[in-house]
Chain A
Amino acid sequence: GQNIDQPTEMTATEGAIVQINCTYQTSGFNGLFWYQQHAGEAPTFLSYNVLDGLEEKGRFSSFLSRSKGYSYLLLKELQMKDSASYLCAVMDSNYQLIWGAGTKLIIKP
């Protein structure tokens, strides 16, 4: 079967760095996506990885290892507004997204 695993909840301190991991087993792979979802709001696209390595976008970076079925989202210089759920999704061989349950990130002052 297809499976995306990520931690249910994480807590971090304002100004610090946090890494949210995602492991996956899917039928085919056409890219891995990270989305951010604030409570009560729509998910919004953060990043896309299709090749191994690190993609950096400002304070956010996303890493992919296809051989290990593993990705992480790295958030630096955490701000209170980063409190949200972070959703990992993999595009399978049918070009459909398979979603993890999301990681709720709590930022404390």
Chain B
Amino acid sequence: DVKVTQSSRYLVKRTGEKVFLECVQDMDHENMFWYRQDPGLGLRLIYFSYDVKMKEKGDIPEGYSVSREKKERFSLILESASTNQTSMYLCASSRGTSGRVNTGELFFGEGSRLTVL
């Protein structure tokens, strides 16, 4: 059974803390994504990666960074958490056809609900 696993389902952090969200996929997918999901808004892309050690900014990268040292693992880092980063964070992966092309069929993890106090 194919899977995308996120390290924590629920986290509570304080303003200014550093936060790591880990994501691992077992499908040998080239592409990996971090989204945040907020009520009333569509999924918003934070960062994505189409290869090991490669990363590209999405629509809302401010306040976030990412790391992809291995193909199966994509980490999201909040250097100094703020209350406006309270959200559901979704990791996803997809097969890449060539270069950066994304097939669009994303496999999502269960999500990490982060609360920043």
Chain A interface residues (CB < 8 Å from chain B)? 4, 8, 30-31, 33, 35, 41-45, 48, 87, 89, 91, 95-102
Contact = CB atoms under 8 A, between A and B. Distances in A.
A83 B68 CA distance: 36
Given A33-B105, A89-B104, A91-B104, 6 more contacts: A89-B43, A95-B100, A96-B58, A97-B104, A100-B42, A101-B41
Interface string B75-111: 0000000000000001000000000111011111111
Nearest to B45: A96
Contact of A98 (B42, B100, B109): B42
Contact of A42 (B41, B104, B110): B110
B104 A33 contact: yes
A11 B44 CA distance: 26
A91 B102 contact: yes
Given A98-B42, A101-B41, A101-B42, A42 B90 contact: yes
B43 A42 contact: no
A104 to B, nearest CB: 10
Contacts of A98: 42
A96 B48 CA distance: 10
A87 B43 contact: yes
Contact of B40 (A31, A91, A101): A101
6 contacts: A43-B106, A89-B42, A95-B101, A95-B104, A96-B58, A101-B40
B102 A96 contact: yes
Given A87-B43, A101-B41, A44 B102 contact: no
Interface in B47-79: 48, 58
A87 B42 contact: yes
Contacts of B45: 96-97
A42 B91 CA distance: 9
